[in-house]
Structure 1
């Protein structure tokens, strides 16, 4: 009986997530290396920005140089600030980032969702209340890896893991609580 319960606890979250209409959101982002304080606005002109697919690390695209602020402990690659934008349509309730290094801030249609100061953990935001159902939506991510050095090894910079959107979000894995009760000693 104990083995069955353990198997269910390990498998159930994956089954519930699969039923939530999770969609990969990696394709078709626009990117700007540099800082522009107006880039979060939905009507901002990003037509000259580079088009790319995620995951993306802008540091690894740079030149190795001991004069870069990352120093030799991080390979001497450039850091700084980068912006990502994506226009899309659809009816989504959640956006989930598997990894953004570091100090990311996220907006949907100009509404500020929040800031994540760290860079190695996944996070998600509810976007449903600010979505234009049937219209064009804009998600914007600002990544600030300018404060250097900040790691003992190469960290990279940018949205370096996958991004997902979910249509219903009926199951929130971040709020899942598992409790156990010991019925007898083995």
Structure 2
């Protein structure tokens, strides 16, 4: 009976620990660090984020911005019209971090963001695998072994192909390239 109790407790702890591992989010620091590694001359970028997530991550974004010395302009996005308004303000050829939550995680929004960023040559960095597969330049995600993985999508970012040589890809630590 005692062994059964120990086994049940061990199994419960194991399941709780696994759920914590699988729910682990990519941090603002990890995203800004990826930008700094990939675009060392980047001094400022834009961030699209929902109001709810900003309330949770505001201090982390400020800290990451300070640590990487990249000025972050935050655009709070709660509706489709907010997305359009924010994208009109973002400069051509700039870098944008996109937190794919709320309205930004919807398929229509994803297609809209990608269609507006491509002509302006805005490099999208995100933690969303859906955005990576659809056309975002860089995505920082957890792989099946719970290791951080950076995915590069050159299929939809031809204008940056010459920057991403095999040596550069290896130096930056990009694990997967979509061509």
- Greater strand percent: which structure? 1
Which structure exhibits the higher relative contact order, with contacts defined as CA atoms closer than 8 Å and separated by 6 or more residues? 1
TM-score of the superposed pair, with normalisation by structure 1:
0.28
- Greater helix percent: which structure? 2
Looking at CA atoms only, which structure, 1 or 2, has the larger radius of gyration?
1
TM-score of the superposed pair, with normalisation by structure 2:
0.29
